[in-house]
Every structure is written in structure tokens, then in C-alpha cells.
């Protein structure tokens, strides 16, 4: 039999564990990446998964990108602004290999795993490079988060496999 103090201690520990496990993020978003979502569509055995958590106060996005089976060497990945079936400009870099540029990723951008793998990071206002012409300027993380929530952003992993040496996307997925 558990004493009254034992029950109180157990309740306090359980409440503390529940509080510690409470998410610090307002929402989680994700995307499944495949070649048939590219514009135009490409036939690639590659596939990927993107998951991100947007902090409650909108000050950062923590993300993880996984991909495998690509036909070309992956050397950059981004979040772009563009609805399903439409290409758009780069908003943030998720990974990049500077020796494979141009374009060359901003300083501090994680390296893209070759031939595949996992990369993770944190996006802040300083990560937003702005796609130009789409009214999300550099540094406007709140605008990017609004576009993510509106369903008009996608993740793209770029390789040279399908474009004769010019870096194009091989797998893409709309963020939901």
C-alpha cells in the first residue's frame, strides 16, 4: 500500500514528467518528397521526408530532412515559396555543398549528405534569404511561416541528374 506522501510524490513526479514532455512548439509540419512532385515531374527512385517544428513565438523552425536513392549527387536543398505544381523562389537553405555551387549556400548552412542521409538545423530570421518578387524579403521569418501555414511552400532537394549539369530538383514535397 502506498502512503499518502508516496501518492503525492508520485503525482508530483508524474506532473513534472508531463510538463517536461509538453511541446515547446506551436505546430509540426511535414512533407513527403518524390520526383513526381517536381515541375516538370521527373522519374526518380529517390524519396525523402521533411519534418519541422515551428516554435510558439515564431522565432525559429527546427527541421530534419532525410533523403535516399537519388540518381544524381545531392548538393543543395531549400524551402521554396510556391503552391503545388508551381516553381517558386528560394526562401531558406536547408543544406548545401559549397564546392558544388553556384549558387553557394550562406555561411553556416549544414552540408548535404552524399549520396543520402539526414541533415537537421534551426532556421531563424537570419536564415531567410527571400525569393525576390514574392514579397518575402530577407529576414522575414514571420512571412515564411505564414506561407508555410497557407500551404504554399515546398522542400526541394537539388541534383544535376535530370538537367544536363544544371542543378534542378530531383525530389520535391509540398509542406503540410
- For 93-117, the pLDDT digits (tens) are 999 998 887 888 999 999 999 999 9
Closest to 96 measured CA to CA, from 85, 88, 105, 108: 105
The pTM (predicted TM-score) of the whole model is 0.83
Cell of 14: 508524474
Every domain of the chain and the residues it spans: 24-174
What is the C-alpha to C-alpha distance for residues 143 and 45, in angstroms, rounded to an integer? 33
- For 124-148, the pLDDT digits (tens) are 999 999 766 688 999 999 999 999 9
Q: Are strands 90-96 and 168-174 parallel, antiparallel or unpaired?
A: unpaired
The predicted pLDDT at position 104 comes to 87
Look at residue 29 and tell me whether its pLDDT is greater than 80.
yes
The predicted pLDDT at position 31 comes to 98
CATH for the stretch 24-174: 2.60.40
- For 49-98, the pLDDT digits (tens) are 999 999 999 999 999 999 999 999 999 999 999 999 999 999 999 999 98
Sequence-separated contacts (24+) of 147-150 with Cβ below 8 Å: 147/81, 147/91, 148/29, 148/54, 148/79, 148/175, 149/27
User: What's the 3-state SS for the chain?
Assistant: CCCHHHHHHHHHHHHHHHHHHCCCEEEEEEEEEEHHHCCCCCCCCCEEEEEEEEECCCCCEEEEEEEECCCCCCCEEEEEECCCCCCCCEEEEEEECHHHCCCCCCCCCCCCCCCCEEEEEEECHHHCCCCCCCCCCCCCHHHHHHHHHCCCEEEEEEECCCCCCCCEEEEEEECC
Amino acid at each position: 500500500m502506498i502512503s499518502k506522501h508516496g501518492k503525492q510524490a508520485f503525482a508530483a513526479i508524474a506532473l513534472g514528467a508531463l510538463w517536461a514532455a509538453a511541446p515547446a512548439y506551436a505546430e509540426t509540419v511535414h512533407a513527403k518528397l518524390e520526383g513526381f512532385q517536381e515541375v516538370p515531374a521527373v522519374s526518380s527512385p529517390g524519396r525523402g521526408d521533411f519534418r519541422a517544428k515551428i516554435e510558439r513565438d515564431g522565432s525559429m523552425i527546427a527541421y530534419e530532412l532525410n533523403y535516399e536513392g537519388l540518381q544524381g549527387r545531392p548538393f543543395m536543398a531549400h524551402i521554396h515559396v510556391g503552391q503545388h505544381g508551381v516553381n517558386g523562389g528560394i526562401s531558406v537553405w536547408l543544406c548545401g555543398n559549397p564546392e558544388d555551387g553556384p549558387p553557394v549556400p550562406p555561411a553556416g548552412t549544414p552540408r548535404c549528405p552524399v549520396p543520402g542521409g539526414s541533415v537537421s538545423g534551426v532556421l531563424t530570421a537570419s536564415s531567410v534569404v527571400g525569393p525576390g518578387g514574392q514579397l518575402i524579403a530577407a529576414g522575414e521569418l514571420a512571412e515564411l511561416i505564414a506561407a508555410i501555414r497557407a500551404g504554399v511552400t515546398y522542400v526541394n532537394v537539388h541534383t544535376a541528374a535530370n538537367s544536363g549539369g544544371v542543378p534542378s530538383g530531383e525530389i520535391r514535397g509540398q509542406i503540410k
